[in-house]
Structure 1
Amino acid sequence: MSARADRRGVVRRAESGMGDDGAVASKSGTQTARDMVLSMLVILLGVGVVYLFIPHDDSLDPVRPISYDTELITARRAAPYPVAAPVGLPETWRATSVRYEAQSDHGSVWHLGFMDPDDQYAAVEQSDGESDAFVAEVTHGAEETERVQKIDGEEWTRYEGPKYDALVRREPGVTTVVTGTASFDGLARLAAALEAEEG
């Protein structure tokens, strides 16, 4: 056999070997992808088993009531107006958020949020800043109506909106808003419980 024929045989064998390596690489890649999918299925199965066997109660109340005594004392000492908070509300009214900002876009702002007995949101919002802008923000754009509601001898203007309704009372130096998803009866109940004090 000539040297040229020997060289051709070597070349053919080399090309044949390259083809085999490509097939092996392709098969290896398929196995890796399949192994990843199987691993994910095993993990998901494990998570499912843990979820099923660890006790959990879907009926538990996800709302975590908070105490706001310290924040209220601090706000009453710092605010330039009498800060309002409810007195005598039943325990079915759960405080969920509290905040006092001495300097904000709306001046000095007091916020105290609740979930009412019907699991609706109601909040007390106060500010010494520009009234209309403040009311628009905390009520999410509720609009003033011509209805005025008397609560304990004080007049509150009703606002109605797509997200929140509100009762609004404007006094010299402070605007007080009771707003949320609660019914007007619920908002009035919260407004009637408010006592405003300075620290």
Structure 2
Amino acid sequence: MGDHGRVASSKRGRQTARDMVLSMLVVLLGAGIAYLFIPHDDSLDPVRPISYDVELVTARRAAPYPVAAPVGLPADWRATSVDYEAQSDQGAVWHLGFMDPDNEYAAVKQSDGRPEKFITKVTHGAEPTGRNRTAGGEEWEHYEGPKYDALVRREPGVTTVVTGTAPLGSLTRLAAALETSEG
């Protein structure tokens, strides 16, 4: 009897492993069929444009400084990210990110925190070039860095940075479109 018990249990162990492998094959076959019949297009742009109207109104009500957003940018500028933090290690921070017409990143970032710390963080360490650029009738400091370039404007109570991988022309266009209230 002892021998029959051992044979039966080792046979059951092999059946369980075989059943598991067969089950996995059925699942993989089902997944493969589903993949073939579910439409997908890898050529589509993975960037999803967003609306930022509600966040802009909310930030303008809450921020201790005039919140800037572009007015009149062409339709091929797509907003992709928006955020307002009333309290952070950088102060009250407004962020509005875009993809420019050439699919380069450009963002408006504002803070009432310490300017140098904020600028270093949002520009990923870009350094001042010593040159200024006029955009929207305002003088902006030009920064260059290994990752991002930037235009920086310091005003009492707020630092505004237009930064990203976009070329200087796109950053200037975004800076020129900034307004602090609707109108």
Normalized against structure 2, the TM-score is what?
Answer: 0.88
Over the matched positions of the two proteins, sequence identity in percent amounts to 74
Query: What residue is the counterpart of 1:143 in the other structure?
Result: 127
Q: Of residues 42, 45, 49 in structure 1, which corresponds to 2:26? A: 42
In the alignment, does 2:180 pair up with 1:163? no
The number of aligned residues is 183
In the alignment, does 2:97 pair up with 1:113? yes
Q: Which protein has the larger Cα radius of gyration, Structure 1 or Structure 2?
A: 1
Change (3 A) 1:32 1:100: same
Q: Is the 8 A contact 2:70 2:174 kept in 1?
A: yes
- Unaligned 5+ segments in structure 1 are 1-16
Q: Distance in 1 between matches of 2:77 and 2:166?
A: 12
Query: What residue is the counterpart of 1:21 in the other structure?
Result: 5
| Alpha-carbon offset, residue 70 of structure 1 | 2.1
Normalized against structure 1, the TM-score is what?
Answer: 0.82
Change (3 A) 1:18 1:159: farther
Q: Of residues 39, 63, 67 in structure 2, which corresponds to 1:83? A: 67
Query: What residue is the counterpart of 2:85 in the other structure?
Result: 101
- Unaligned 5+ segments in structure 2 are none
| Higher fraction of helix | 1
Query: What residue is the counterpart of 1:183 in the other structure?
Result: 167
| Alpha-carbon offset, residue 19 of structure 1 | 3.5
After superposition, the CA RMSD in angstroms is 2.1
Q: Of residues 112, 135, 146 in structure 2, which corresponds to 1:128? A: 112
| Alpha-carbon offset, residue 93 of structure 1 | 0.9
Q: Is the 8 A contact 2:126 2:145 kept in 1?
A: yes
What is the CA deviation profile of residues 30-77 of structure 1, one whole-angstrom value per residue up to 9, with x for unaligned ones?
221122122112111111111111222222232222221222222223
